[in-house]
Amino acid sequence: MKNKIWQKYFICMAGLLILAGLSINLIGYRHACKHYEQVHRTRLQDESRQISVEYVNESRDAGLTGEMFQLQLQSVRNMIGCEIWVVNENGTILMSTEPETVGLYVPMDVLNRNWNPKTKISDVYSGKRGLAVDSVLSGTDIWGYIVVSEEWNTIIEDAKLLLFRVDITALAFMVVGIVFWAVFAAYHTKNVRLLQDAVVHYTNGDFDHEIKIRTHDEYRDLANAIHLLADQHANLVEYQKNFIANISHDFRSPLTSIKGYAEAIKDGTIPYEIQGKYLNIILFETDRLANLTNDLLDLSNFENKGVHLSFTKFDITKMLKQSAMTFEGKCSQKNLKIRLSFPENTLIVYADKGKIQQVVHNLIDNAIKFSHPDGIIYVSVMERREKVLVSVRDTGIGIPKESISKVWERFYKTDLSRGKDKRGTGLGLSITKQIIAAHNENIKVSSTEGVGTEFVFSLAKAEE
């Protein structure tokens, strides 16, 4: 049987309360007995002293008879609720509020102490009593003793009564506490069930489910965190769908072309003299698949292992010249020109040279794809404080305003580019973004549709 959290807490709290109650009753009983012993001791001593001073001396001076003095003792006994003995110097009880004790003997060791807790006098009483003794003097000699006594059980009963009142009060608080605990447990149980229900809904794909927690506490924070996680999961699910759709499209198109032309060549549908043309198409589509595969491997490595960087100092202008030269063939096919604009002084940056070459290659390749024939691509470098800014700008078709913020997304292609960019994978800019971010630098894009696009990224200037 599964135990709920609130039940476990209740068992723990009940155990602690029981242990506390036992401790209070055991330890409190001893302290209560000591407290009431002191209270009764003080009261009995005060009473014995008052009787000794007021009644005995006044009675002797007034010449009261024994019967009258006995009546006075009895009235005092009725007021204080204690037994009173008048004992001579030898320990014999001469007068008492209990007539049956007259003539009995009280040990001298008892009379020589002013307080005797739990004293048992076998000749007088069978039970234990508390005795307060005060001497009655005749000049300098002891004439006798006034003894005020009460049963020890009276002290015990007072201590028990105090503990009973404490227990009743504690029990009342416990009942109130249980009521509050039940309300508190119901509150926690309700919120936990709401969170569990929400997780089930989100797991089943119902990302629109609302967690109805209205209080402003940790449960609300947890609900918000779960909802945020669900939103991210929903975005991930949507991304996975788009990823599969895009990757399927980008793989299916070249594979369909390769398969169709290969079967046509094999079947002889395409004459031998023109097979070279279609073999070039097959090679073109093979390159597209290779580029897509390489880009996917790069992204996978970046996500699983992070972008591993090997920092070195190098001349950024020299590297840009070398990168631009590698695109001469592509530029000549569209009659494009690449114009380089560098400062006269050498600019040394501190970065991963291979990764920055990859960034520059992606940006220039992107500019070539979307430039009009006979256009110009501008590559420039400028120094600003401790940073070096690299710009790649084309005069091509540009990017629609609503698409600028999406160019860094994987597989994203605008409608314009999807028709013109037959070779692109939609991953180059995403890779570029990750490489620059790994350098703790920034890359920005600005574009005007029909005018052109410019990408600018920053690098750290190397210390001299």
3-state secondary structure the chain: CCCCHHHHHHHHHHHHHHHHHHHHHHHHHHHHHHHHHHHHHHHHHHHHHHHHHHHHHHHHHHCCCHHHHHHHHHHHHHHHCCEEEEEECCCEEEEECCHHHCCCECCHHHHCCCEEEEEECCCCCCCEEEEEEEEEEECCEEEEEEEEEEEHHHHHHHHHHHHHHHHHHHHHHHHHHHHHHHHHHHHHHHHHHHHHHHHHHHHCCCCCCCCCCCCCCHHHHHHHHHHHHHHHHHHHHHHHHHHHHHHHHHHHHHHHHHHHHHHHHHHCCCCHHHHHHHHHHHHHHHHHHHHHHHHHHHHHHHHHHCCCCCCEEEEHHHHHHHHHHCCHHHHHHHCCEEEEECCCCCCEEEECHHHHHHHHHHHHHHHHHCCCCCCEEEEEEEEECCEEEEEEEECCCCCCHHHHHHCCCCCCCCHHHHHHCCCCCCCHHHHHHHHHHHCCCCEEEEEECCCEEEEEEEEEECCC
Domain ranges of the chain: 5-158, 218-303, 308-460
Q: Selecting from 3.30.360.30, 3.30.1330.10, 3.30.565.10, 3.65.10.10, what CATH number does the domain 308-460 have?
A: 3.30.565.10
CA 16: distance to chain centroid?
A: 26
Backbone angles phi, psi at 438, to 5 degrees: -65, -25
377 near 330, Cβ under 8 Å? no
pLDDT per 10-residue tile (average), the chain, 464 residues = 66 79 76 77 82 69 66 82 86 84 81 69 63 79 83 76 80 81 80 84 79 80 82 73 68 80 85 84 80 72 67 92 85 91 89 89 89 92 91 91 80 49 64 88 91 93 80
Q: In the CATH scheme, what is the homologous superfamily, with its name and number, of domain 5-158?
A: PAS domain (3.30.450.20)
Closest CA to 382 of 305, 457, 279: 457
Task: Note every long-range contact of 268-272, with CB atoms under 8 Å and residues 24 or more positions apart, other chains counting.
Answer: none
Q: Does domain 218-303 have CATH number 1.25.40.10?
A: no
- Return the half-sphere exposure (C-beta side, CA atoms, 13 A cut-off) of residue 380: 13
Task: Compute the distance between CA of residue 359 and CA of residue 436 in angstroms, rounded to an integer.
Answer: 8
Closest to 438 (Cα-Cα) out of 297, 299, 309: 309
pLDDT at residue 3, as a whole number: 59
Do residues 155 and 144 touch, judged by C-beta distance below 8 A? no
Residue 214 confidence (pLDDT):
78
Whether 218-303 and 5-158 are alike in CATH topology: the answer is no
Angle of helix 353-369 versus helix 316-325 axis, rounded to 10: 40
- Give the model's pLDDT for residue 415: 46
Please say whether the beta carbons of 452 and 398 come within 8 A: yes
Token duo for residue 283:
């090679």
Q: Which residues contact 280 (CB under 8 A, 6 or more apart)?
A: none
Q: Can you say how many angstroms the Cα of residue 196 is from the centroid of all Cα atoms in its chain?
A: 18
State how far Cα 36 lies from the chain centre: 51
Cβ atoms 136, 51 nearer than 8 A: no
What's the pLDDT at 126?
A: 58
